[in-house]
Amino acid sequence: MKLFGTDGIRGKANEFPITPEVALRAGKAVAQVLRSSGHNRNRVVIGKDTRISGYMLETALTAGLVSMGMDVLLPGPLPTPAIAHLTKSMGAAAGIMLTASHNPYEDNGLKIFGPDGYKLSDALEEIIERHILGDEPEPRPMSPEKIGKAYRIDDARGRYIEFAKHTADNISLHGLKIVVDCGHGAAYFIAPLIFKELGAEVIKHGCEPDGININDKCGALYPETAGGLVRQHGADLGISFDGDADRVIFTDATGTPVSGDRILALAALSLHEQGKLRGSRMACTVMSNLGLHEAMRRAGIEVLTTPVGDRNVIEALREKGGSFGGENSGHLIFADHATTGDGILSALQVLRVMKEKKATLAELAACMREFPQELVNLKVAAKPPLGELAGLQKLMREADAAFGDAGRQLIRYSGTENKIRILVEHRDAETVQEWIEKFTKAVKEDIGVAA
């Protein structure tokens, strides 16, 4: 598709496709494709993170929707999973989140949810894209009396706060000291409040958004920021969210970041012990460490491996009837509670395990060993099909033959940026470095690296 990537539409604000003109057409397209004759289904929830461009896009998107007879509910800045939850709980036809997740403030995007709270299928995204690009007939204008209305809703925060706490049975966090870094993003208000209401002592950081400081040396991309505050305040752990709070990264009591795979492992094992891991299976992406697979095999847990993207993990869980999965980047899906990755909900589930087992995060995270791994992101000027790059393909085959069961390589393009990602993993750290250098050289020769 020309507009939709692995996670909605994304790009630089005020440049195609993240323009008011495209947002207005997107509003009309969503109304056309997702309109329902069911009770109260002629409405759409629009959320946003804290980027300054959110005002521009929210206004244009609203105009497109109301011009097609849809009512729009505007809760203001809220995490992406909160919009997914509100879409379903308020009986809306769709939910739209304006965010570029972990990207800098210059970027923005649209994530669209259906009435069930799940991200749209590729087929629906393709239909919406055709309407946006004008490949489908223009809709007939609505008569004036059928134009929709836009409402600011004041109870959205409260609805999500109570839902999030309920997923962890309102467990008491009394006695825990937590650093909460919201990255100046969508969770800046509600995340600290939730942990505080449950009894934790909260040290806040990244909770003063100004429209341009989102993800700026804070949040999930910079867990060392929370780690420094953990050491400074003698906290039990740090919790860092990305810009739209659909993922979370933890730091232990020493201020050391805990890998997403270790969090996946401890959560899966805890659910398995409680008999809540449906089918004794969990799902992860191809980016997860081989050590996670090893730990799950020991526990008798089946691992479903999917392409990158939390939507792919969710689809695997829905298809196989699983209840838990995620990405090592910090997306965790507790499918019995949520329809998408939810950083706040995930943090509450991890805190719950700590309280119930009376264990530190480091103790729980020791449930698996990690194979040495390195991931390199290279900016590229173009994205020719990898299968057409003879030199790189030859090197990949050589690596597979040399690694056997002791390691792996994974090379792919980013779905949202002009980057190629090179992952090498092996029991031997020197082997990892050797092959990273070989692959980097091959990419530079076959594609060239952007300045």
Which pLDDT band holds residue 381 (cuts at 50, 70, 90)? confident
Q: Map residue 98 onto helix, strand or coil.
A: strand
The amino acid at 87: T
Nearest to 369 by CA among 289, 251, 270: 289
Instruction: Give the mean pLDDT of 350-374.
Output: 96
Ramachandran quadrant class, 382 (left: phi over 0; alpha: psi -120 to 50; beta: rest): beta
Whether residue 417 has pLDDT greater than 90:
no
In sequence order, what E strands does 100-196 have? 107-113, 150-152, 177-181
Tell me the binding residues: 101, 242, 244, 246
CA distance 294 to 287: 14
How crowded is residue 140: how many other Cβ atoms within 10 Å of its Cβ? 7
> Where residue 418 falls among pLDDT bands split at 50, 70, 90?
confident
Count of CB atoms situated within 10 Å of the CB of 335: 18
Mean pLDDT value across the chain: 95
Q: Does 451 score more than 70 pLDDT?
A: no
The rounded distance, in Å, linking the Cα atoms of 196 and 1 is: 43
Q: How far apart are CA 88 and CA 163, in angstroms?
A: 12
Evaluate whether 101 touches 327 at the Cβ level (below 8 Å): no
Residues 6+ apart with CB under 8 A from 35: 41, 42, 68, 69, 70, 93
Share of the chain above pLDDT 90, in %: 92
Point out the residues that are catalytic: 101
pLDDT at 239 over 60: yes
- Is residue 142 exposed (0-12), middle (13-18) or buried (19+ Cβ within 10 Å)? middle
> Is a pLDDT exceeding 90 seen at residue 416?
no
Is residue 65 a contact partner of residue 208, using CB atoms and an 8 Å limit? no
What pLDDT does 449 receive? 83
Contact of 362 with 319, CB cutoff 8 Å: no
Q: Determine the 3-state secondary structure of 358 from DSSP.
A: coil
Which residues does the annotation place in the binding site for Mg(2+)? 101, 242, 244, 246
d(CA 79, CA 208): 15
What pTM does this model have?
Answer: 0.90
